[in-house]
Structure 1
Amino acid sequence: MKELIRYELLKITSKKSVRYTMVILFVILSVLMYRDVQGLSDEQLEGWEGKVDSEVVSQAKKEEQQLLFKLQDRVASKQDEVMLDTYRQIYETYEFKKTRESKLTSLNEQISQHNREGEENFTIRNLMLERSLLSKVSANTIYFDEPAEHMVDYMSTYGFALLGVMILMGLSTIFTQEYETGVHRLLLSSKDGRQKVAHAKLISSLIYVLGLLFSSISFALLFYYLFLGHEGWNASLQSIPGFWDSPYPLELSIYFWVKLLYHSVASVVFSLVVIMISSLCRSSVVSFSLSGSIFLFPLIATKFALLQTDNKFFTSVFEVLTFSPSQIMRVDPLFIEYAAINIGGFPLLYPIFAFFILLLSASVPIFIINKRSKYPSSI
């Protein structure tokens, strides 16, 4: 069995299309990531790191006005843009504190109203859970969090694209190539042979995906460490633009590991879906196209749904697609704001519900692949 697994893994990794694509992607990512970190340095927050209060905000506004006055006579340099971004971070951090306090006040008022009415249902439990989470959030300090922020963001952007493309390139033809070369006729002559090969393909695919994950994350960690350092891991999740409405009291160091877990499990589940489609198709082109559509459709559909927020149908579509493997691979949509599912009158947070969905989703392709290996004509 070990030799068979090694052989199947070699078939995946030895394909020129896989090797060339991976090299090209890493080169492209290096260029894009280098562009992103240009001008970023811990010097931009020198003298500003720490607690943000009204005095700090006043000083930032004063310096910003002085800089804007100078920019009337010249074009803003990269350093000027960095400083303006620093002032923006200070204002947003201070505003977040006030917004959080206002949100907590609103939640307390709603809970008190329901208590007076003697209600004990999903609504009040949901409000109480949100209040409990939000009350633990503390984001009134500012740090140079660019290294940690870029690393966390990497999994939702560049790392997500890298994994998706490489899974499609490596696994979408894992079964179809046997049909196209006629090798499947030899496998059909032995039931044990079919099953062993199917199991070997699953295990070798898992090794391939885990290897991609390790390579991708290691590459990003090393890159950002060399160009930005290792600061920012103690900053709160709410320090990242786009997470200001998140109620989760997580530091970036904790969120990184949580995100890596979801990112990894969702990548494995998506790879199982790709393998299942390959086992059901006779054409590599069809298999690749279907798998690619499953990967891209949730992304495109959710982008469109976000533009139609007043339409209940599109809102429902957005909520459903949040739990697709490709969306969970990005992780951020689960944590960007408070959302919970009603389970028997009790709220179940989106991240927890999504993890259960992943585990259930993994069982379907495994069942179909196994059944296909036993009874090729049954599906």
Structure 2
Amino acid sequence: MYKHECYKIFTRKSIYVVLALVLALMVYAERVPADWNTASDIYGELYEELGGPVTEEKELYVREQMEASDAQELGTYTERDRIAGEVYYLVSLAGQGLQENNERQNELKEQMNRLSASSYDYRVAEKELGILKEVESSYGFYIVQAWLGMFHFIEPFFSVMLLAILILIGLSPVFADEFTQRTTGLILATKHGKRHLVTAKLMAAVTYIVTVFLSLHIFNFILQLNKYGGIQGWNAPIQSLNTASPYSNYFNSPFAWEVWQFYVVTLSVQLFGSVAFAILVLSVSVFTRNALVTFFVSGVILGLPRVMNVIGSEYKWAHFVTSFSYMETLRIERLFASFNAYNVLGQPILYPVLQVIIYTMLSVGLIWFIYRVFRKHQVSY
């Protein structure tokens, strides 16, 4: 039964049409050559001199160089000047981050001295202080452009919507088509047919999600490898993933991970979010019994919190709903960008941990709902 359910999902032509369009968009988005390849020698020289964790000596040197550059009269602005300016800026920014980290630690220590050790505010301050101490040595200059390219595919709203569309197209008909084609009666009339059918469909849906998810990210990995000629910076701290782009800015992240570790974590959480959203789609499919209605209802559930945040951004409840939505679970960025803890029974729980807990419980509840609907379903002719 599992193989048959996989066959029904993977033989839908619409999936391959959309997947082909997504891959074409990915290639188109990477059409601009990387400046980092042509300037690799210059970056290599600067990295030898200024790369690694920031120090007072490095910070003082780049500030002197930046002041000297600003004081010079206008002249020829070379490629090396541009690259050096970018590197000096990143080193200076790392120094600023280290200074802000130390200042925040001092603020938290003063705050804890005024608080009762049994209070929730004390526990939050203590947790944040411990995290800041761990990331204190994470500020510096590293070459991580290829990794930035890989993270840029995980986080943007547009990329998440492409992934969501593939999930919706592939899974909206999973249960709905059985009712539309009136084939449920034949299956449900068999011994244990109800339970086996649901199990097979859930397993097939997860197989589809994993296949599509890995295909997209492996394809993007190949694109970035080809564009940058390597994956330098795999062991750099994630605080070095900071750019002028609105994505991949983890300068204030509270996690002391290396880039490759963070990449594994983000892929795992996004895959988890994809499976959680897939379970939602299946539950809507079994409830509505119509593939088109399932597609739009599931899409509204995914996108509505973002709309609510835009039109009700001044309300705290709208921000809360948006923070704990399927969209944020798929987007990843806000989960790990900064320190954010919530009060759960008097204990501060980090935002990404709480997000995973909530959607694990919700997904288990939806799976129970699917089994219950089919157990109560009566065979009709």
TM-score (norm: length of structure 2): 0.86
Q: What is residue 246 of structure 2 aligned with on the other side?
A: none
Cα distance in structure 2, aligned partners of 1:140 and 1:347: 26
Deviation at 1:44, TM superposition (A): 5.4
Deviation at 1:319, TM superposition (A): 2.5
Which sections of structure 1, spanning at least 5 residues, go unmatched?
Answer: none
Superposed CA deviations along residues 92-133 of structure 1, whole A, max 9, x for unmatched, are 22221221122112112211222xxx4521101100110110
Cα distance in structure 2, aligned partners of 1:43 and 1:303: 45
Determine which of 126, 130, 133 is the counterpart of 1:128: 126
AA matched with 2:211: G
Secondary structure at 1:266's aligned position in 2? helix
Cα distance in structure 2, aligned partners of 1:215 and 1:68: 50
Cα distance in structure 1, aligned partners of 2:84 and 2:70: 8
Is 2:262 aligned against 1:261? no
AA matched with 1:120: S
Is 2:281 aligned against 1:284? no
Cα distance in structure 1, aligned partners of 2:63 and 2:189: 76
Superposed CA deviations along residues 310-358 of structure 1, whole A, max 9, x for unmatched, are x3x2x33222332223311222211111111112322111122112112
CA contact (8 A) 2:2 2:203 kept: yes
CA contact (8 A) 2:305 2:321 kept: no
**Structure-to-structure mapping, 1:102-121, within 5 angstroms:** 102-114=103-115, 118-121=116-119
Greater shift after overlay, 195-204 or 273-282?
Answer: 195-204
Q: What is residue 147 of structure 1 aligned with on the other side?
A: 146
Distance 1:128 1:243, change over 3 A: same
Cα distance in structure 2, aligned partners of 1:150 and 1:374: 47
Identical pairs, percent = 22
Q: What is residue 184 of structure 1 aligned with on the other side?
A: 184
Q: What is residue 365 of structure 1 aligned with on the other side?
A: 366
Determine which of 9, 30, 37 is the counterpart of 1:12: 9
Pairwise CA RMSD: 2.6
Which sections of structure 2, spanning at least 5 residues, go unmatched?
Answer: 243-248
Cα distance in structure 1, aligned partners of 2:72 and 2:338: 36
Determine which of 49, 59, 68 is the counterpart of 1:53: 59
Distance 1:131 1:8, change over 3 A: same
Superposed CA deviations along residues 25-78 of structure 1, whole A, max 9, x for unmatched, are 11111111333x63233445333321442112322453476697546xxxx98x
Cα distance in structure 2, aligned partners of 1:203 and 1:27: 29
TM-score (norm: length of structure 1): 0.86
Cα distance in structure 2, aligned partners of 1:167 and 1:83: 44
Secondary structure at 1:175's aligned position in 2? helix
Secondary structure at 1:348's aligned position in 2? strand
Distance 1:122 1:90, change over 3 A: same
CA contact (8 A) 2:237 2:258 kept: yes
